[in-house]
Amino acid sequence: MQQDFPHELIEVVFVDDGSVDDTLSIITGYLTRMDMKVKVFHHEWMGLGPSRNVVVDNANGSYIIWVDGDMMLPKDHVRKQVEFIDQNPRIGIAKAKYGILDEENLVGFLENIGYVAVDHMYGGRPTSRTLGTGGAIYRVDAVRQIGGFDPSIRGVGEDMDAEARMRRAGWFLFLGSPGVFYERRRKSLRSLWNEGFWHGYGGELILRKNRGAYTLLKMTPLAGLVGGAWYSAAAYRAVGKKIVFLLPFQNAFKRIAWCLGFIKGTMDRF
């Protein structure tokens, strides 16, 4: 509602994937205050792949900007993302830059600054890295060309699968486009563990479908420790806080959870 992009060119598509809280009533409370086209979809829980396809199937514009519930967008986010992808017709997905949040909680701060460090190190060019949907703009023609998201992927990984298929279709993926967004991260080790385990469990299916999606060796705790040390240098340059040198340990912790989730996903398949 605060975006400086022309509101008559914005369409907002809400997809409520079976919530049992006040989500629908909160959305309804805003509808009369939104001077743009709005569509609201609600269904019993179907999962990420099918729910994202609701957006893909019902979008009337040329691009989709995914906005999750834990994200905050500066008022120029939509304009900058649209301008960038307009000027780069071979880019199918462009991921905006992570903004630095003033997180008081150590776990949340390290999560946020880790993503900021990746932007500093690898951003500003086409990439083979995983982008994720949060903060990303998708070209509608590109995602429809690959048949949208895999509806069988109800948990995590629907974005990685779509990215892999988009690359095979000849589209470029870009990390660090001009837009900025902010994302609230996990704030406890327990929630961080659960998220890592969930990603590992879904990662088993993604690797089975797309053998080149990632290298298992890079998902080990040792790789997390080394990668965290690598990222912490860039993080220190970004914020100048020595606390960022705890990143290797948090990264290794997440990779242990990921590996156990991957093992559980493999065992459940058999």
pLDDT at 104 over 80: no
**CB-count exposure of residue 21 (10 Å: 0-12, 13-18, 19+):** exposed
Cα distances from 83 to residues 77, 167, 177, in angstroms, run 10, 22, 10
d(CA 197, CA 186): 13
Q: CATH class for domain 7-269? A: alpha beta
User: Is residue 204 pLDDT above 90, yes or no?
Assistant: no
Residue with tokens 């870009």, as numbered in its chain: 174
Whether the pLDDT of residue 143 is over 90: the answer is yes
pLDDT, tens digit (0-9, with 9 covering 90-100), for 47-85: 999 999 999 999 999 999 999 888 999 999 999 999 999
Q: Residue 169 above 90 pLDDT? A: yes
Percent of the chain residues topping a pLDDT of 90 = 83
When pLDDT is cut at 50, 70 and 90, the band that residue 150 belongs to is: very high
**Band (173; pLDDT cuts 50, 70, 90):** very high
Average pLDDT across the chain, whole number: 93
Parallel, antiparallel, or unpaired for β 172-183 and 125-126?
antiparallel
Using pLDDT thresholds of 50, 70 and 90, give the confidence band for residue 135.
Answer: very high
Q: Which pLDDT value is given to residue 21?
A: 92
pLDDT at 138: 98
Domain layout of the chain by residue ranges: 7-269
Listing DSSP states for the chain in one string gives ---SS-GGG-EEEEEEES--SSHHHHHHHHHTT--SEEEEEEES---HHHHHHHHHHH--SSEEE---TTEE--TTHHHHHHHHHHT-TTEEEEEEEEPPP---SHHHHHHHHHHHHHHHHH-SEE-SS---STTEEEEHHHHHHTTSS-TT--STTHHHHHHHHHHHTT-EEEEEEEEEEEE----SHHHHHHHHHHHHHHHHHHHHH-TTS--GGGGSHHHHHHHHHHHHHHHHHHH--GGGGGHHHHHHHHHHHHHHHHHHHHHHH-
Average pLDDT over residues 93-115: 90
Helices 247-269 & 189-209, crossing angle to 10 degrees? 50
The two beta strands, 172-183 and 91-98, are parallel
